Structure 1
Amino acid sequence: MIALPALLCKDKAVTLIMKGCGLTPEEIHAFESFADIEVESLDLSYNTDMEPAGLKEIGCFVRKHYTKTVRLSACELDEDSLISLNNGLGIYELHSLDLSRNPGISSCYKTVTKVLCNSRVEEFNLCNCKMLSMQIRNLSEEMGKRCGTSFVRYNPECRKVKLVLPRLSGEDMKTLRKQLFSPSKGIFSE
């Protein structure tokens, strides 16, 4: 891993993909050797041994290297991991954050909201995090309180309410639609 920065071009932004490498906090700490390299996109999906300490290092790395896209899909993230990531990121503008396939974050909507608001994410993916309609509602309300924005959008011209959740697969969209518009448990009516 230490030789990797020497192979990367220092003149332009790079995409760093390290999916399923079994990265540990110690190995992530070695990312410090990426001195002046701009890393436009960082994909650490399927690394399940990063622990909160490693997530904090990732947050610091992202900020230091002007990273705009971060993928942490299927990393077995939980609330402690998100708190550490948020501490490392601080207030930073990300274009895209992929937290998909992390069912451990479904119940910690306040922490998810804090990460999304502090990093001013334009696009995020929570696909397959096993969030229920009540959790989506709570996340939406918390986004409204903290960021002044919410997933729920109302267009007065066409009098429609829509839930904006980028990158939902067809099957996830069907499930979400059933939950949201369910006569007994839904939060909207058609």
Structure 2
Amino acid sequence: MREENLATKNCVALIEDDQEMCKSIQAMMESIGLKTVTFHEGHSFLSYTSLDEFGCLIIDLRLPDISGLTVVEKAAELQSYCPPAIMITGYADVPTAVSAIRGGMIDFLEKPFVPQDLIDQVQNTLQIDAKNRQIHQVGARINLGLSKLTTRERQVLRSLLACKSNKEISSDLDLSSKTIASHRANILAKCQAESLLELAGSIQSCGIEV
């Protein structure tokens, strides 16, 4: 099934307490046609209604209330989807950079950074966000379909994903070939997939457990 194309978001969330830095980054984003919504504390960002409008987060590592890393971690817990983030700081070190990347950061920039480096990274991040949203959309559809499967249909799906033949599935589950074909059709319909190959690919790419 072809998913709806998701337009690249043109809004960036900036979580930074330095007023001058905010003005500078906002000017950079405006130069490439991006809107910027600024937050001066981590909690004010986390209390924002929805992160869906943002295609990229730019976060200072050291905020007045909580760390930038904590902001990203909590945002991922509170929202069904959290856009990728770029961490900026005047106190960069290798361990923190590694932690940031493992935490889902796309890049780690030390202040003062070259403006074009941030612009390039933001544009790259927006493309990554669009791809992530596509995967998120597919995953939501597949998970909804899987939740509708009967116990027997789920057993048949697991066997099909294990590349077992109809004869093997028939022997394992004591089902006729006609019944297996019926279950297969129901599985594809519920998951809105046009083929088993498409469904298997979506399950693998989204990291879904059946």
TM (norm. structure 1) is: 0.30
Higher helix share: 2
TM (norm. structure 2) is: 0.28
> Looking at CA atoms only, which structure, 1 or 2, has the larger radius of gyration?
2
